[in-house]
Structure 1
């Protein structure tokens, strides 16, 4: 589960979803494996100058031997909803087993390491500053993987973010089953080890601590050996006991918490368990709306504040825990808000989550799209429209190559007026002239 943090403490405020927490400044980063991302951030800062964002023209990922192989460049100047993958480093491509045919983020495999970067590009648009994140997840090959990444905004015109450059570092770790097996083997080895020497020379030596040490007990099934990484391997799929129809709000909260505990995150338990936990959380939310005084008392006891603009955020904090991953809490709250807005009947949210295209992620995307402000008008298009309607100062019968509607010309003053010398072929300069003139 990802933990997002912005690198700019005083970055300009931007619209946040009703229940989306604003990114926070990360803790100081030391000289461990995070250093790649510090170097990437320092590189981004070195390109800023006096601009709000570095220019895309200044970035060449192929020339960055330090972190270029671990990076991706996203271009959403043409399609903000499905950005193009303009560059993908060979190390990241190899880890995700991707060929060179991948062109857009919609083609990125959902459980690949690359998706850990591409899933966050919308947050950087809202934050308008670099965002760092770190988490652990189970990848395509079922291997637990720790990763740390950073996304940095770039611009082609100095004003709008239309490129995002991401760098990610990772390491594969042993899963719980492997760790438990190693613990058992170590315990058995220690138990079978010969007694230490009685020699005074070695009595306080490196084997002294083994004397009279009891053997480690073998782990039982109750200690967790039956749990594994994949939902298909979970022994059974525990379901909390059914609630009485007249159960009080506190009982409903306990029931929802039990479901959330059983879910234990979508990566460790079945998706059905997570959806059932959200279903119970929604049932609690509806019951809380009918008993506001009792609900306010539960919030006060938990030290959680009600939020008028994000009413479902306190609900998911009560059910899943206030210290639960903020990104996941945001998604859960969005799903409950969607259910309330759509008038979903209590007890049927799990079925809607299961049948909705994209599941939980699809519903979260639908809810965020519903809240998203109307797209701002394109200032360049408005400038073009104003110039298109402006009366001409003069018309000159000159034929130039190309079909562009607006042409930037260099002219020389003469006694009779202006002598056109040459057109300017640079598209950026033409667009800048259009903006300034209009």
Structure 2
């Protein structure tokens, strides 16, 4: 029977690169450290996928070039689910996999794949990756259409066109014919005997992009904070070095990313303290500051002017929030780590706050127009304050009239809420 393992269960690895909250449900843990030639292909395939991931849930399908899949391209297959999950389109099949399965030149859907071919085994697994929303590793044996017992191992990697729906899956498969059972048993016994008598091996760094050894590399590359009298260029250099470390495939982790964003924030503080030097750096880089997005040039100076625009916007929002919150130099990384949902949670809340604020402003403007045009119930003397609109407190009298007993004209928020509610009730 086939065995399936997603990379968040019994495989050893690190989930440092995942954000908390919503992201944890869709996060990815690295596969185990493995050393055979057969598995190294899947290591390279996973690292290829991880390098494209960024801080998205899934790598963007538009960045996948099936003609440039390194040495695992001949063993790869790309399934397209945009037309439906039950019978995905086979968008690409590598030469080695096509030859092993004796596939025709034109292949439409997975249902067109010969029933006892190696490629047909994917149908047992791709629904699992959609359910788990994470890469899946699998291995099994089966007898193919030629009557040959085949041992195969594969990995399925999700891609998305909108960063929410898994609508493409890249599969990489390797295989070999299984030896005669008697010979296999003999070899297995010899291997087990050798293992029992072998010395404990010295631990080596794992080959996975976000494996446990990444922490040591990350810490070594973060560098010490510049001296108090350091120039702005020194702060920028440190921030850039940390950003490059966060992008390094060997140390891809959430903590590395947050350290890089924190260093960018530290640089922004230094830039505020040295406006002339900052202006010179901006001029050299061909950048300018816009009032509505003051932190965007900071992010571009640190991460690069050609860095992903979505990431630039998110990082700039985090820096602006840190400035508004009055965070001290060096505090933003820990702040993001503790924030519910991490960076993505913070950006989500910032956007939600802006949306609510913009919506409230629109409703308030409409309320002002409506109440200016409304008929008056009467008038009363009120000398205090000069606000156009005032909240009045009335007491209902026995004869049905209202006696105005107080006025509140120094609470802007209360007045706005009352106006919006009053206008809506008209």
Q: TM-score, normalised by structure 2?
A: 0.41
TM-score when scaled to structure 1? 0.40
Task: Please identify the structure whose Cα radius of gyration is greater.
Answer: 2
